[in-house]
Amino acid sequence: MSDQKLKIIPLGGLGEFGMNSMAIRYGDDIIVVDAGMMFPDDELLGVDIVTPDFSYLEQNAAHVRGLILTHGHEDHIGGVPFLLKQISVPVYGTAFTLALVERRLEEHQMTDDAKLNTVKPGDRLELGPFSIEFIHVTHSLVSCVALAITTPLGVIIHTGDYKVDPTPTDNLLFDLHTLAAYGKRGVLLLMSDSTNVDRPGYTESERAVGPRLEDLFVRSPRRLVISCFSSSIHRLQQILDFAHQYGRKVAFFGRSMTNTTEIAHDLGLLTIPDGVLLRPQDAMSLPPNKVVAVVSGTQGEPMSALSRVAVDNHKHLSIERGDTVALSARIIPGNEKGIYRMINHISRRGADVVYGTMNPPIHVSGHGSAEELRLVLNLVRPKYFVPVHGEYRQLARHAKLAQHLSHSGLKETFILESGNTLEIDDHGARKAEDVPVGRVCIDSGTLDEVVEEFVIRDRRHLSEDGFVLPIIAISKSTGRCEGLPEIVSRGFMSSEDSTGVLQEARQVVLKTLESSTAEERGDWGVMQEKIRTDLKRFLNKQTSRRPLIMPVILEV
């Protein structure tokens, strides 16, 4: 019997999409599974990416034995550079995953200090009291693994992202046998991907996209432009194979697309047929019916390659009447407006745009649907279950999906959100004291990169109500105001509507100055606050708006 406790501490990715990161602690030893990021929503003005708050790991840096990565999607590896800036810790992942991480580290000039260790499915890793076996799983990305983590209290299975693809394009099947073997021996805790729990049945195989892609090659009379996620190596392989079959050449556009294909090709994960590859600068010089352009930017990101192509702002590629443009990716919720705007631009140029749901599909998900999640539950048959990766509604539905196991060994299911802690010992499992978590907003254009909450609040304030700048000239000798204050505003009211209000506002500022004592007028900090308070009250009463007010006092 052990008196040590096993703690499961989600730092991100539970109750939200993205920022996947999970700390697992036994006694004084900690391992971390993934360190992801998410892209900001519309309210996080000027923010480029969002990462978990890794303060808990920083406070316990001496106890962190390693960071283990399940696969190379940004929501699982995007936060790695920011975590390694805070703590020095060895990183473990498959060759492809670590190659993607290395590119991120190069951007931060951190490659010399990083300790990257390559593993492959079937390998075992010993980190303190943890013994970790890597299990191959199928997903929309290559080289993905689940983790079987043996602890002194029992085995934890962490699935990472997965679907059970019976016919993967690389013929590397999901290793259900190893998963089932652990299930037979007994699993203490299962943590399983919940992303597609609300989809019934099974997710279609990656091969299901093949017929639609081939149809595009057969039927497109002119240039074929295909946009997919740069990480979709299986999809890119099918495009290259069809291009070779139908006598077209392939040019890759977009930095992420170029980088990822180079990495996959170097590692032998992407086979490029002889004579198929075309330089981007030569794409417009060949006959249109001999070219396939593979372009990044499926989500309509403003500066992505496809967004620039859509408005004729790309130096090597233009869309012309009769071309076919296919978006071979799902529309991520929240990106609809940007994507449809981009599709409108492409349609104005006379191209035929293929997107959305159709049969056969132009895109299939990389996440397992309800029956695949049920299959994993049935194979593993855990004592405790924690659904991961998803919003609360999906975690709750996944928990409900597991109820049928209650008669065959499942003692309890816990729905955790980021910051909650699950504690397991010889006496059972229970929720324990929360740890502080949150999100860190990164603005790559700033010196220290991290954007404080008050900066985002001010940006939001400015975007909604604008700003008002009262400028007051105060005599150095008398301490009195020299003439009427000037008031400048931007984004507050139209010039026609604001004239009368701002004239009255000048009198409000003047009255505040005149009613202040000589001592107050000698303290600029006090005067700025008094002016801000009085002007804020006046403008809110007159306009029901709350602009950002920044008094400027000039000594003359």
Q: Residue 59 falls within a domain, yes or no?
A: yes
Question: Average pLDDT by consecutive 10-residue portion of the chain (556 residues)?
Answer: 83 90 96 88 60 93 97 94 94 97 90 93 97 97 97 97 95 96 97 96 95 96 95 96 97 94 96 95 95 93 89 94 95 82 95 88 95 97 96 96 89 95 95 88 55 57 72 74 79 69 84 79 76 85 81 78
Residue-wise pLDDT tens digits, 450-497: 555 555 566 565 666 777 888 888 776 666 777 778 888 777 776 666
For residue 487, what are the β-bridge partners? 470
Three-class secondary structure assignment of 238-257: HHHHHHHHCCCEEEEECHHH
What contacts 281, CB < 8 A, 6 or more positions away?
A: 316
pLDDT at site 18: 85
* The domain boundary residue, chosen from 311, 331, 354: 354
pLDDT at site 497: 63
In a shared domain, residues 116 and 130:
yes
367 an active-site residue? yes
Q: Residue 455 falls within a domain, yes or no?
A: no
In a shared domain, residues 34 and 120:
yes
* The domain boundary residue, chosen from 322, 354, 386: 354
pLDDT at site 520: 72
Q: Residue 49 falls within a domain, yes or no?
A: yes
In a shared domain, residues 51 and 197:
yes
Tokens of 440: 């860190």
Tokens of 17: 């999409």
Q: Residue 450 falls within a domain, yes or no?
A: no
In a shared domain, residues 307 and 284:
yes
What sign does the dihedral 433-435-436-442 (CA atoms) show? Answer: negative
In a shared domain, residues 436 and 512:
no
In a shared domain, residues 505 and 424:
no
* The domain boundary residue, chosen from 311, 334, 354: 354
In a shared domain, residues 57 and 83:
yes
In this structure, what CATH number is given to the domain that contains residue 87? 3.60.15.10
In a shared domain, residues 95 and 170:
yes
In a shared domain, residues 306 and 338:
yes
Q: Residue 457 falls within a domain, yes or no?
A: no
215 an active-site residue? no
pLDDT at site 531: 85
CB environment 363-384: b (16+ within 10 A), e (fewer): bbbbbbbbebbbbbbebbbbbb
Pairing label, strands 6-12, 421-425: antiparallel
Lookup result for tokens 């602009």: 547
In a shared domain, residues 16 and 157:
yes
- Give me the catalytic one of 136, 158, 367, 398: 367
In a shared domain, residues 340 and 213:
yes
**CA atoms within 13 Å, Cβ hemisphere of 264:** 23
What contacts 416, CB < 8 A, 6 or more positions away?
A: 8, 10, 14, 386, 395, 422, 431
In terms of DSSP H, where are the helices of 186-246?
A: 210-219, 233-245
pLDDT at site 397: 97
pLDDT at site 447: 33
Q: Residue 458 falls within a domain, yes or no?
A: no
In this structure, what CATH number is given to the domain that contains residue 507? 3.10.20.580
Q: Residue 460 falls within a domain, yes or no?
A: no
Q: Residue 433 falls within a domain, yes or no?
A: yes
Compute the distance between CA of residue 212 and CA of residue 235 in angstroms, rounded to an integer: 12
Q: How many residues does the chain have?
A: 556
Compute the distance between CA of residue 418 and CA of residue 112 in angstroms, rounded to an integer: 32
Evaluate whether 113 touches 95 at the Cβ level (below 8 Å).
Answer: no
pLDDT at site 498: 66
Rounded-to-10 torsion of CA 488, 494, 498, 502: -10
Q: How many domains does the chain contain in total? A: 3
Enclosing domain of residue 522: 466-555
Judged on CB neighbours under 10 Å (0-12, 13-18, 19+), 403 is exposed
- Give me the catalytic one of 53, 161, 193, 241: 193
Compute the distance between CA of residue 358 and CA of residue 378 in angstroms, rounded to an integer: 32
In a shared domain, residues 381 and 258:
no
Residue-wise pLDDT tens digits, 341-362: 999 999 999 999 999 887 889 9
In this structure, what CATH number is given to the domain that contains residue 219? 3.40.50.10710
Judged on CB neighbours under 10 Å (0-12, 13-18, 19+), 513 is buried
